[in-house]
Amino acid sequence: MSVKVFGKGKKAALKRRHARIRKHVNGTPERPRLVVTRSNRHMVAQIVDDTVGKTLVSESTLTSDFAGFEGTKTEAAKKVGELLAKKAQDAGITTVVFDRGGNKYHGRVAAVAEGAREGGLAL
């Protein structure tokens, strides 16, 4: 996977880091990939089987589960991880490989991973 990204901005750096990570992180049917996508306002987490290119389970702060959510963005990210883990266990998924999507493992990205671990997923 060769990505040519020009520029020195934050977006370019994020794309370079993500391409570098994806060289080593692949999802298999036995251990699919947990992908975290972060925006300024929302968090999206998906579990993907890369062999067929299919999303198996997904959860985000945009779903109806978060309609009346009161709390910080980090607390919402942790809840996304917990709900994703519950859906994954219902689908028979117990272990995943974590793809932070070029983001630093800090704050909301780490909160999703922590919530998934507390929900029963092995990362």
Q: What is the pLDDT along the chain (123 residues), one digit of tens a residue?
A: 566 667 889 889 988 999 999 899 988 899 999 999 999 999 999 999 999 999 999 999 999 988 889 999 999 999 999 999 999 999 999 999 999 999 999 999 999 999 999 999 999
- Count how many domains the chain has: 1
Q: Could you tell me if residue 2 is inside a domain?
A: no
Predicted pLDDT at 8:
87
Q: Could you tell me if residue 14 is inside a domain?
A: no
List the beta strands (DSSP E) in the chain: 33-38, 43-49, 54-60, 97-99
Contacts of 33 (CB under 8 A, 6+ apart): 25, 26, 27, 47, 48, 49, 50, 96, 97, 98, 99
Q: Could you tell me if residue 81 is inside a domain?
A: yes
Q: Does residue 32 contact residue 48 with C-beta atoms inside 8 Å?
A: yes
Predicted pLDDT at 7:
81
Q: Could you tell me if residue 45 is inside a domain?
A: yes
CA gap 116, 39 in Å, rounded = 19
Q: Could you tell me if residue 9 is inside a domain?
A: no
CA gap 38, 90 in Å, rounded = 25
Predicted pLDDT at 100:
94
Contacts of 48 (CB under 8 A, 6+ apart): 27, 32, 33, 35, 54, 55, 56
Q: Could you tell me if residue 11 is inside a domain?
A: no
Q: Could you tell me if residue 8 is inside a domain?
A: no
Which structure tokens are listed for 50? 């890369």
Which structure tokens are listed for 113? 């991973």
One-letter amino acid for residue 95 of the chain:
T
Predicted pLDDT at 81:
97
Looking up residue 55, the CATH number of its domain turns out to be 3.30.420.100
Range of the domain at 55: 26-119
Predicted pLDDT at 55:
96
Q: Could you tell me if residue 107 is inside a domain?
A: yes
Predicted pLDDT at 67:
87
